[in-house]
């Protein structure tokens, strides 16, 4: 007798499920980025991470992930000098107007890109070990030309930063 009700239950569950559920919507394929677009995004990312570094807590390893060559050497020296003097940075620099303007291979065969960017440091102050503001007289906004190279590990790193007011990156 037990077999009868089981058949009815199975039959009714099969009959109630005859209508197939509507198909799930399939997202349209996202167009993939070209290699040039990926490189531009990687350069912008390394520049953003560099500007966002906290000079008070950044390590040499943090710098080495973003910089190379003379820029890395200069930043390491600056970091060491500031820490030995007990200086601290307050506030945050802001980068804007980032635009890749050139790309290619340098004479040594390294892949490079250059970009223009505006760096605004008006919101930052330098204080000594006693908390006294020692911010030097400076232009608050700088038009910069930044060069990045692909390192041996395939990562874009900033290799050069020079002031370039001719491009008017700050508007």
Q: How far lies 121's CA from each of 94, 125, 142, 148, 170, in Å? A: 7, 8, 8, 22, 12
More confident residue, 75 or 22: 75
- Cα separation, 82 vs 129, whole angstroms: 10
In the predicted structure, residue 15 carries a pLDDT above the cut 60: no
Question: Distance between alpha carbon 95 and the CA centroid of its chain, in Å?
Answer: 11
Q: How far lies 135's CA from each of 69, 126, 159, in Å? A: 27, 5, 26
Query: What's domain 34-167's architecture?
Result: Roll (3.10)
Q: What is the mean pLDDT of residues 5-11?
A: 38
- Cα separation, 19 vs 137, whole angstroms: 76
Q: What is the mean pLDDT of residues 85-90?
A: 96
Q: Which two tokens stand for residue 154?
A: 């395939």
Q: Parse the chain into domains and list their residue ranges.
A: 34-167
pTM, to two decimals: 0.79
Q: What pLDDT was estimated at residue 3?
A: 47
In the predicted structure, residue 17 carries a pLDDT above the cut 90: no
pLDDT tens per residue across span 18-52 = 555 556 666 656 668 899 999 999 999 999 999 99
């Amino acid at each position: 007798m037990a077999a009868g009700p089981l058949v009815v239950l199975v039959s009714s569950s099969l009959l109630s499920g005859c209508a197939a559920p509507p198909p799930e919507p399939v997202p349209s394929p996202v167009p993939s980025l070209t290699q040039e677009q990926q490189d531009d995004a990687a350069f912008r990312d390394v520049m953003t991470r560099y500007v966002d570094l906290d000079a008070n807590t950044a390590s040499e390893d943090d710098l080495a992930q973003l910089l190379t060559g003379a820029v890395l050497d200069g930043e390491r020296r600056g970091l060491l000098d500031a820490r030995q003097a007990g200086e601290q940075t307050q506030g945050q620099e802001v980068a804007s107007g980032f635009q890749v303007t050139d790309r290619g291979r340098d004479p040594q065969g390294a892949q490079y890109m250059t970009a223009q960017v505006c760096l605004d440091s008006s919101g930052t102050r330098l204080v000594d070990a006693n908390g006294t503001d020692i911010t030097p007289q400076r232009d608050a906004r700088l038009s910069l030309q930044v060069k990045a190279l692909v390192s041996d590990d395939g990562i874009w790193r900033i290799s050069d930063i020079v002031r370039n007011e001719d491009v008017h990156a700050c508007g």
